[in-house]
Amino acid sequence: MKPKQNQAIELLAQGSSIDATASIVKVNRRTIYQWMKDQEFALALHDKSAEVIESLNRKLVGMNEKALDVLDACLDSESEAIRLRSAIYLNSKLYEILGDLEILRRLDAIEERINRDRQ
């Protein structure tokens, strides 16, 4: 892979637009589109994007603990308004998670039925 292609992969995986990437790499945007049709380039871009997403996920998980500590402190605030808003926020998130878990449970049941019907 050429250095400009590697640079384009880095930029695109970080969320840079085609136009911005082409400008930075100093190629025509059509060149970027052509590269994206190349299997080796597309696979490298996919792998780099997955790496970036994994890195961001790890960072978010680490930050989540701090965020929960802040919310925990808010629940003990002297201000009733802050305690109430914090409790409402946490409650709404809990119901979102429970809803997501129910959807996953239903999807698992559907997949199980499909697999059973195939046999």
Q: Please list the rounded mean pLDDT of every run of 10 residues in the chain (119 residues).
A: 96 96 97 97 96 93 90 94 94 92 94 90
pTM: 0.60
Residue 19 to residue 83: CA distance in whole angstroms? 47
Instruction: Find the angle CA(100)-CA(105)-CA(109) to the nearest 5 degrees.
Output: 145
Contact of 102 with 94, CB cutoff 8 Å = no
Residue 46 to residue 57: CA distance in whole angstroms? 16
Domain residue ranges in the chain = 1-62, 77-119
pLDDT in the model for residue 114 = 93
